[in-house]
Structure 1
Amino acid sequence: MALPTYDQLMLPLMKLLSEQKQGMKLSDAARVLSERSGLSSEELSLRLSSGTKTVFYDRVGWAKTYLVKAGLISQPKRGFCELSEIGRRLDLSKLTSITIEYLMQYESFSNYKLGISKENQKIQYKVDKEISHIHKLEETRTPDEIITETTELLKSNLKSDLLQMVKDKSPAFFERLVVDLLVAMGYGGSHQDAAQAIGKTNDGGIDGVISEDRLGLDKIYIQAKRWENTVGRPDIQQFKGALADQVAKKGVFITTSNFSKEAIESAKKSGIVLIDGDKLTSLMIEFGLGVQVERSFHIYKIDQDRFDEDNY
């Protein structure tokens, strides 16, 4: 018996969660689904080439990810999943399968697949309505193109999960996260100096002041907000006023949400740097904050110089 694909596992996962009064761990869900699958122990023990997890568990994980993106499953806490209100309203008995085409009817999922969500507007993916079309599309792409697009997809998923984890934490945690990020980027002098700077002033719209370099020759004023709502022009204007009171030249406004068009235009006129949720998670990944390398690949090519006879 062949291992089920991730899309073939979406309906069984939904049905399993519908049987639960409360959410369950993804690992427990994968175990129950494996017991119900009728697969042999040898098939269930097949692992990814990286060796980090079994193929079956990995596919259950991707099934969960896509159902979360569609809003059919929610994640009340780390490692747990349960049917959302939308998911509970579905009559699962009338469904024979859940496919990518089926999930495209949900705006949150179609935005995710098309790469036009507010948290990730810069990445766009070509999405076909049927899995068979996706396979045909892959046949027309070069291996380099497939690797690049797959890498971007994995990064997009990571950024989405990373941002949600940040939003779930307290404002105090977010302030410490900002400190860690700025220090990792080379600002703030020592970590102790940076930690003392953020969250201490609360002076007219300024959350902290941090050194631009280790010598403290210039200062950067920080506004750090763990918000859900869009940051508007009035918020930027307030920050600009606070900077003017301090005769400050440089300011950074960091938020877990996003900025309105008017806010962006206002910030440009005054030299304020804006970091929204998408940029924040990109920087966290770039500087290795809150993430770790699961595996890495090396792609080799011929060293032409090594075969140049004139070199011998």
Structure 2
Amino acid sequence: MDFDYKKMKLGKHGLPTWDAMVAVLIYLTADGKEYSGKKLRKMAADSIGLPDELRNATYDSSYMDNMIEDRAGWGLSESYTAGIFDRPRRGIYVITKLGKSLLEDSDSIDVTLIHNLPKYQEHKKELKERNERSNISSNDKVPESFEDISENISTTVTSYNNQVASDLLSRIQASDPRFFENLVVKLLVAMGYRGPNGNSKVTQSTNDGGIDGVINQDALGTNTIYIQAKRYNSDNVVQRPMIDAFFGSLSRIHADRGVFITTSSFSKNAIETAKGFSIVLIDGIQLTELMLQYHVGIQVKNSFELFEIDEDFFEN
């Protein structure tokens, strides 16, 4: 049987869903031979005619897991739970009589059929008991795959953190200008711009010559970053003349690099001018995003671990 991914049930990213991959897995193992889980995942992914960009697509996570192999792996795991496959020994799969019987009508194989098989129903009873012990309501929807779980968590956390960043910007805009100058220097230090032997300082509030902060990246000051910080309300957009003035301040001290940070935003002309002067601009939104990224002015409220089975542990 030839499988064409375009004719299969497709999910996110234009790839077949995990339950669509089950028919592929059953067909590949119909000879009754034993296969390692790792080999089966790759065989299934390679047998549905995916173009390279889809075959090699990975999740945006620290593990960079291959998407289609992950879905094949999820299908293999769910099928094993449902009794379609057996595991005679660690990491090895073989099709069961139930699995072979499904070959006759492989088009009917989907999540509903798999989850209604007797062995899977037994699994659901165990899962229900585990959830009850963990105080999870049976009415709570449990995502069907790692991809769904990961994206749900990512979306929720990002939405919450965006609100924190917005509140953070309001707090900064209501603060003292001197506080803001200290804040931006601390942020750039947290980002690693002060080297191990460097130093940083906020300039005196009077006669600073348009320079609010200085970061020396080494002990001799041969690499120096000059900072201008403007604590403005969101409607007070930084215009081109302020960029010109900052460049003038840099030129007077023969500086070749500057960072202009504001709690508001920059006009189009200001942005174009800064590019010509090699001045880095950071607006209010980027400022607070960086503060969250480098943990400046915030603290971690909670963290969670999302587990998955280490297939290599069971296959090696």
Structure 2 length-normalised TM = 0.50
1:216 aligns to 2:218 (yes or no): no
Map of 1:265 onto structure 2: 272
Q: Structure 1's 163 and 287: CA in aligned 2 closer, same or farther, altered over 3 A?
A: same
Q: Structure 1's 271 and 218: CA in aligned 2 closer, same or farther, altered over 3 A?
A: same
Offset at residue 192 of structure 1 (A): 10
Q: Structure 1's 217 and 193: CA in aligned 2 closer, same or farther, altered over 3 A?
A: same
1:143 aligns to 2:139 (yes or no): no
Offset at residue 214 of structure 1 (A): 4.9
Q: Structure 1's 186 and 146: CA in aligned 2 closer, same or farther, altered over 3 A?
A: same
Q: Residue 236 of structure 1 contacts residue 267 of structure 1 at CA under 8 Å; is this kept in 2?
A: yes
Q: How is 1:46-61 mapped onto 2 (pairs within 5 angstroms)?
A: none
SS in structure 2 at match of 1:268? helix
Asked which structure has the greater RCO (Cα within 8 Å, sep 6+), the reply is 2
- Cα shift readout 1:217-264 (whole Å, capped 9, x = no counterpart): 211111111112110111111111111222110000011111111111
Name the count of aligned residue pairs: 173
Query: Where do 5+ consecutive residues of structure 2 fail to align?
Result: 1-142
Structure 1 length-normalised TM = 0.50
Q: How is 1:14-163 mapped onto 2 (pairs within 5 angstroms)?
A: 142-163=148-169
Q: Who wins on radius of gyration, i.e. which is larger?
A: 2
SS in structure 2 at match of 1:142? helix
Query: Where do 5+ consecutive residues of structure 1 fail to align?
Result: 1-137
Q: What is the rounded CA distance, in whole Å, between the counterparts of 1:295 and 1:270 in structure 2?
A: 42
Q: Structure 1's 208 and 179: CA in aligned 2 closer, same or farther, altered over 3 A?
A: closer
Offset at residue 191 of structure 1 (A): 11
Map of 2:241 onto structure 1: 234
Residue identity matched to 1:250: R
Cα RMSD (Å):
2.9
Q: Structure 1's 190 and 225: CA in aligned 2 closer, same or farther, altered over 3 A?
A: farther
Q: Residue 254 of structure 1 contacts residue 276 of structure 1 at CA under 8 Å; is this kept in 2?
A: yes
Q: Residue 199 of structure 2 contacts residue 217 of structure 2 at CA under 8 Å; is this kept in 1?
A: no
Q: Structure 1's 199 and 193: CA in aligned 2 closer, same or farther, altered over 3 A?
A: farther
Map of 1:170 onto structure 2: 176
Q: What is the rounded CA distance, in whole Å, between the counterparts of 1:203 and 1:146 in structure 2?
A: 48
Q: What is the rounded CA distance, in whole Å, between the counterparts of 2:200 and 2:276 in structure 1?
A: 27
Q: What is the rounded CA distance, in whole Å, between the counterparts of 2:283 and 2:311 in structure 1?
A: 45
Q: Structure 1's 191 and 162: CA in aligned 2 closer, same or farther, altered over 3 A?
A: farther
Q: Residue 197 of structure 2 contacts residue 219 of structure 2 at CA under 8 Å; is this kept in 1?
A: no
Map of 2:303 onto structure 1: 296
Residue identity matched to 2:307: Y
